[in-house]
Chain A
Amino acid sequence: MSLRRSPSRTRKVLIGTAALFLIVVLAAGTLYRVLPARAALVADLSDHLIAITTGFSGASVLLFGATEQAGDIVVIVRGPSQPVLMHRKSRVAGVWINTASMTIENVPGFYAVASSRPLEDVASESIRRRHQMGVEYLPIAPPLTKASPNIAEQWKAGLIRNQQRSGLFPRVTGRVNFLGERLFRTRLELPANVPTGTYRVEVFHLREGRVVGAQTTPLSVSKVGLEAEVFDFAQNRSALYGLIAILVALVAGWIGHIVFRKG
């Protein structure tokens, strides 16, 4: 009896195991379909090089892409970072003079955000903070060793206001447009005073407030042709450059005199 029951028991265990395995596989498959795929975001720029020539008056670059599933898109454009020296004025005997200064490290030379919906609707504050979506989340306050949190915030706000006035931190959030559910596009506008260097364009795909995909694309802004040659010459052969500048001015003044004497 025990010998006959033994194989049937074995079979039952086997069937049970197989069923369990099947359930796990099916569940995993369903879950896989419910959870977003990681590589479902593709995006690119119409141009990876912005050439600054004599007639440069700002540039516009098209960013386009597709996602496998509907969701929100947030695009962040960041210029090369550098330290910035800031001053604070206060009134001394009626006259406004600089009374404090501070160097702030790693200030992006340009920072713009574009989004398919208002940022507050797209992601929670903690997500926005983590991915620096919005100027208020940029880590550009003076170090706490030099200023209390309250004072540091004021310096940061002052820096942001200055950058906004010069158009380097555009005030408005750009608009990412969806064509259907999957395709998206947006225009990245760069003003005429953008710094040169390598920019980073980050594209985030969000679903239900969570980042489910991200891609980073470089964008290069550089002087080309005559502009680049003049700049390089001024940097590398500066004494000769100075002499030529003087000579040009002398000749121009002399020509002006000749032309007018005859005229």
Chain B
Amino acid sequence: MQVYLPIAEISVDALLLLGLGGIIGFLSGLFGVGGGFLMTPMLIFIGIPPVVAVATQANNVIASSVSGVFAHWRRGNVDFKMGWVLLAGGFAGSTVGVGLFSLLRSLGQIDLVINLSYVVFLGTIGALMMVEGTRAMMRRRRKAAPRKLHQHSWLHGLPLKTRFRKSRLYISALVPLAIGFGVGVLSAIMGVGGGFILVPAMIYLLGMPTAMVIGTSLFQIIFVAANVTFLQAAQNQTVDVVLAMLLLVGSVVGAQVGTRIGSRLQGDWLRLLLGILVVAVCSKLFVDLFTPPVDIYTLGVPL
């Protein structure tokens, strides 16, 4: 069933969009990532103009994250206090990031920077998660003593110590603030919600329990994605509601299924699977950087 998208100005198969939304929503509910890093390339692949793809997937991320947050909230897996602190850092970071984005674009190399940062960040994080997830599972199989909740480091010597009761943490508020800021900068440059960076950062840098990380990450992604949606709609008129609605029907359903399955899987397994997914996307992008293009001449994105 073909549907014409008024902003993207092309006609696409509605069932394809529903299915795509469903898969991304499933991954979003399962891992607590917004799914933008998968959705944007997929939309561009099926012919949606890149500017519309980036803006509209942000709108879709809101829906799947809301759906996921409710499900996690019901299980008591959202640390709102931590979420607000991350968010404050995230807003400051994305403001700086938008400025950086404009600078890079005026230098004419934004595409390269986006691709390279995807490869570097996805590669590093994915590999770390895979190694760590595998090691943790092997440790459990050997029935060794359970590891400590988190290691103490210089991060714990910083001022503004705050108790995050839900996450069972007593750390400086500056740490999540800084993480939120860094993720905000990157998400503005890479055009994604930043969940795939935020989730590992919360697990490994803050030492939060995996189940709590996913709900909290989704909570803060709602606000980041809403901010992006609003800015894109107001400044560039590139949010396509027809496309967003088709995607979000699929992703809302997918997020519910993903959350259910995720709650039955162990944290180690989740980390390993997300690691594999991230590494797979990264490898594809890495290979693309070195593959001769179909045509050395390309049509630019109209500004």
Contacts and interface: CB of A to CB of B under 8 A. Distances in A.
A256 B253 contact: yes
Contacts of B293: 89, 96
A140 to B, nearest CB: 12
Interface in B1-58: 2-4, 6-7, 9-11, 47
B33 to A, nearest CB: 16
Interface string A42-78: 0000000000111111100000000000000000000
Contacts of B62: 246, 249-250, 253
A110 interface: no
Interface stretch (B104-112, B193-201, B206-214): B104-112
Interface string B57-75: 0011011111111110010
Contact of A162 (B67, B297, B303): B297
A177 interface: no
B248 A246 contact: no
Contacts of A249: 59-60, 62-63, 66, 226, 229, 244, 248
A135 to B, nearest CB: 15
Contact of A52 (B4, B63, B70, B245): B4
B233 A245 contact: yes
Interface string B224-255: 00100111111101010110110011001101
A249 B59 CA distance: 7
Given A242-B229, A245-B59, A253-B66, A86 B4 contact: no
Given A85-B302, A96-B289, A238-B237, A55 B3 contact: yes
Interface residues of A, number: 60
B154 interface: no
Contacts of B296: 88-90, 96, 158
A97 interface: yes
A39 interface: no
A223 B10 CA distance: 12
Nearest to B232: A242
Given A161-B295, A195-B9, A239-B233, A246 B59 contact: yes
B9 A57 contact: no
Contact of A101 (B108, B226, B229): B108
Interface string B143-161: 0000000000000000000
A241 to B, nearest CB: 5
A96 to B, nearest CB: 6
Contacts of A53: 4
Contact of B299 (A86, A238, A254, A256): A86
A234 B10 contact: no
Given A193-B47, A249-B244, A241 B4 contact: no
Contact of A252 (B11, B69, B248, B289): B248
Contacts of B71: 257, 260
A88 B108 CA distance: 12
B4 A84 contact: no
Interface string B164-205: 000000000000000000000000000000000000000000
Contact of A95 (B65, B234, B290, B299): B290
Given A238-B234, A245-B233, A256 B295 contact: no
A85 B111 CA distance: 15
Q: Is the interface of B mostly helix, strand, loop or mixed?
A: helix
A86 B237 contact: no
Given A97-B112, A230-B241, A252-B249, A246 B230 contact: yes
Given A242-B232, A253-B65, A256-B63, A98 B11 contact: no
Contact of B6 (A165, A195, A230, A250): A230
Given A55-B2, A253-B67, A192 B297 contact: no
Contacts of A238: 233-235, 237
A20 B230 CA distance: 85
B2 A97 contact: no
Interface in A80-121: 84-91, 94-98, 101
Contact of B239 (A54, A196, A245): A245
Contacts of B11: 56-58, 192-193
B81 to A, nearest CB: 22
B63 A252 contact: yes
Most B Cβ at <10 Å: residue of A58, A85, A161: A85
15 contacts: A54-B242, A56-B4, A85-B303, A96-B289, A101-B300, A159-B299, A161-B297, A231-B7, A234-B237, A241-B241, A245-B244, A248-B248, A250-B63, A253-B65, A253-B252
Interface of B: 2-4, 6-7, 9-11, 47, 59-60, 62-71, 74, 108-109, 111-112, 226, 229-235, 237, 239, 241-242, 244-245, 248-249, 252-253, 255-256, 289-293, 295-303
Interface of A: 52-58, 84-91, 94-98, 101, 154-155, 157-159, 161-162, 165, 192-193, 195-196, 223, 226-228, 230-231, 234-235, 238-239, 241-246, 248-250, 252-257, 260-261
